[in-house]
């Protein structure tokens, strides 16, 4: 519960597609060195939140600040340079490139200036996610869980202060999830960055995060410590109202 200064702030963010209001007046904060979960049923608008933060979509209303700077509408690569990196639900590592090339790419372009060279950073990031032995494997030939780890390594190599994890556990087996959680845990302790974690599966997030927000139909319905959220009537209703696939 070591919440520092606010790192990422969403205030009054709204977004609609066609006639569909996907995000409605969302306020949300991530503090320094904080691990925050964002959960919600399928289609609640979780991924859209990420796409709004990383400027893939422009919000209709509201503002997003990162490290005190307004990043609404800023080019995605500039947001990355500011120290915000993300993973994707459907892994978007570069499949035709090797693991090392993937991480190198992120290391070269992710940070503008750093005392460590990109090669060193990339190697370190791979070491952290325990994938150094697969550095010359093409990303296309990795298992799904390795691809997830690869994306995390790519994120790490850009020395972020905040990583957005987009359903990293989707499609993984129990064993793989355990491994992933361990890796994320150790790297977080090592590097001391914040995490904003979207997840469909609730239990892991409740165990792992300092704080959890819940959204449904684009509206935040709960925000607090995991135990409180788990007991919140609205949350339970949201989850039971639409059966988990």
d(CA 102, CA 105): 5
Tokens encoding 62: 């509201």
Contact pattern from residue 103 through residue 142 relative to another protein, giving x for each residue in contact according to CB under 8 A and a dash for the rest: -xxx-xxxx----------------------x-xxxxxxx
Kindly state the helix (H) or strand (E) to which residue 124 belongs, with its residue range.
helix 118-128
> Does residue 226 touch another protein according to CB under 8 A?
no
Q: List helix spans (H) across the chain.
A: 46-53, 76-81, 99-110, 118-128, 144-157, 174-191, 202-208, 226-231, 233-241
As beta bridge partners, residue 86 has 164
Contacting another protein (CB under 8 A), which of 9, 145, 161, 187? Answer: 145
Compare residues 104 and 129 and give the one whose CB is closer to another protein: 104
In 3D space, the residue among 216, 207, 214, 208 whose CA is nearest the CA of residue 232 turns out to be: 214
Nearer to another protein, 14 or 138 (CB): 138
Residue (9 or 158) nearer to another protein, CB: 158
**Token pair recorded at residue 47:** 């991924």
Q: What whole-number distance in Å separates Cα of residue 38 and Cα of residue 1?
A: 16
How many residues are recorded in the chain? 245
Interface with another protein in residues 38-97 (CB under 8 A): 41-43, 47-48, 51, 54, 56-57, 75-77, 79-81, 85-86, 88, 90-97
Least CB distance to another protein at residue 4 (A): 24
Q: How far is the CB of 2 from another protein (least distance, A)?
A: 27
Q: How far apart are CA 226 and CA 88, in angstroms?
A: 24
Question: Least distance in Å: CB of 184 to another protein?
Answer: 19
By CB under 8 A, name the binding residues for another protein.
17-18, 20, 22, 41-43, 47-48, 51, 54, 56-57, 75-77, 79-81, 85-86, 88, 90-98, 101, 104-106, 108-111, 134, 136-145, 154, 158, 171, 242
């Amino acid at each position: 519960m070591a919440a520092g200064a606010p790192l990422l702030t969403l205030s009054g963010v709204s977004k609609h597609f066609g006639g569909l209001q996907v995000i409605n007046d969302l306020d949300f904060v991530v503090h320094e060195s904080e691990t925050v979960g964002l959960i919600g049923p399928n289609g609640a608008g979780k991924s859209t939140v990420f796409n709004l933060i990383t400027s893939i979509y422009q919000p209709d209303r509201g503002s997003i600040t990162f490290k005190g700077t307004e990043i609404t509408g800023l080019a995605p690569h500039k947001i990355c340079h500011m120290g915000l990196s993300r993973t994707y639900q459907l892994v978007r590592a570069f499949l035709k490139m090797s693991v090392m090339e993937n991480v190198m790419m992120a290391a070269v372009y992710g940070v503008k200036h750093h005392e460590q060279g990109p090669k060193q950073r990339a190697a370190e990031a791979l070491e952290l996610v325990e994938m150094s032995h697969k550095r010359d494997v093409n990303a296309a030939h990795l298992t799904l869980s390795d691809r997830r780890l690869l994306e995390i390594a790519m994120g790490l190599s850009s020395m972020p202060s905040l990583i957005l994890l987009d359903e990293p556990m989707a499609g993984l087996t129990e064993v793989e999830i355990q491994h992933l959680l361990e890796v994320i845990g150790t790297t977080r302790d090592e590097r001391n960055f914040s995490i904003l974690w979207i997840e469909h599966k609730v239990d892991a997030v409740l165990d792992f995060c300092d704080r959890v927000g819940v959204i449904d139909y684009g509206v935040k319905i709960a925000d607090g410590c995991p135990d409180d959220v788990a007991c919140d009537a609205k949350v339970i209703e949201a989850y039971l109202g639409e059966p988990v696939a």
